[in-house]
Amino acid sequence: MLQAWNQSYCQLSAGAFEGSVTEVDTGAVRVIVERLNRAVLQRGALSPDCIVVGVPLHLHGYGRLCGQRSHVDGLHIFSGSDGFEFLSPERHLVVDIEFYPQRFSSPALRKGLDRMAARLGNRSAVLDLPSQRMDAMRHTLRTLLEAVAASPDLLRNAPAREAFEKALVYALSDLLEVDVQAASAPDHSSPRSWRLVQAARALTEQASHDCPLSVAELVSALEVSRRTLQYAFQEALGVNPASFLRVERLNRVRRALADAQSVTEAATRFGFWHFGHFATDYRALFGELPSETFRRRKGMAASELAQTSVTLRPQGDWLN
């Protein structure tokens, strides 16, 4: 889990999860390279004192940020008053940049960040930008991060640290010089679908200590047809509601295995009563049997289990 993101993860696609987070922190700017190999639904909210954007390096698969299509030439805005929900596609490699305006000593940079915040708005979104602009931003990021990877002590030098921060602020400022209002026409159906899925997820989270709601119960509580709910989940997440509820429950069992007395206790806590089917579904999603997870994670703090990535210092070829 990233420090400032107050974030939760739910793995949606099947297979053993592999992920990494590489971080460069100057104090005023934090740059995070996030790599995932599975579709993951990420939900979080950031402190109002920061501006956070994501620049995709590689995105392969179906992705959505708050109902908008996630794609390689879309600048991902994660900061905002309402938080975010990000369905990251498989083979996901994104550079996230956190800017903390009040920590900059330069008035010019603070002013530039104020203008940037006004252009980005106050809600999480995807800004569709010209490919050449996004390529230029990616080139700048690669150049800066590869220099730091080659010389890990470089940013201990104050002038080098300030130059690094300035380069990032003005690279993003240049990227936003394009008229963002000229981005491709919005897909009006996607936000509606996303709002319905959010409402469904809120209801399932209310049932976090017992068996999550069934599809029939969701349909009744939301006062929509099964077909409407089916369409919304397919549009927003690329899965049907029954499949989503199943993987949501499996993810909760995985986290619960940290403090459960047995696999059976964790499984039944979330409504899995056919243990053979449960073990098969669990292994298909996570690439290992629940008993293997239980043995490995027994004794770990429950808070550590919410973390699905690791933090590394920059080294080697970590941008490809």
Answer whether residue 308 shows pLDDT above 50: no
Report the C-alpha gap between 130 and 244 in whole angstroms.
34
What digits encode the pLDDT tens for the residues 169-199?
A: 989 988 887 654 434 444 555 778 888 998 8
- Decide: 300 and 294 in contact? Cβ < 8 Å: no
Q: Which residues, other chains included, contact 278 with Cβ-Cβ below 8 Å and sequence gap of 6+? A: 253, 267, 272, 290
pLDDT for the residue numbered 302: 41
Residue with tokens 């498989």: 90
Report the C-alpha gap between 1 and 303 in whole angstroms.
10
Asked whether the CA dihedral 125, 126, 129, 132 is positive or negative, the reply is: positive
Judge residue 296's burial from the number of C-beta atoms within 10 Å of its C-beta, 0-12 exposed, 13-18 middle, 19 or more buried. Answer: exposed
Report the C-alpha gap between 168 and 195 in whole angstroms.
33
pLDDT for the residue numbered 183: 42
Domains of the chain: 8-184 (2.60.120.10), 189-301 (1.10.10.60)
pLDDT for the residue numbered 313: 44
pLDDT band at 81 (very low <50, low <70, confident <90, very high): confident
pLDDT average, residue stretch 76-95: 92
pLDDT average, residue stretch 232-247: 89
Answer whether residue 310 shows pLDDT above 50: no
What digits encode the pLDDT tens for the residues 6-49?
A: 788 889 999 999 989 999 999 999 999 999 999 999 988 898 88
Report the C-alpha gap between 108 and 171 in whole angstroms.
14
314 vs 50 pLDDT, higher one = 50
pLDDT average, residue stretch 68-74: 93
- Decide: 41 and 237 in contact? Cβ < 8 Å: yes
User: According to the per-residue pLDDT averaged within each range, which of 145-159, 180-194, 206-220 is highest?
Assistant: 145-159
CA distances from 123 to 37, 47, 118 (A): 27, 13, 11
Answer whether residue 216 shows pLDDT above 70: yes
Q: Return the closest-CA partner of residue 73 out of 94, 97, 52, 55.
A: 55
pLDDT for the residue numbered 314: 47
pLDDT average, residue stretch 136-157: 90
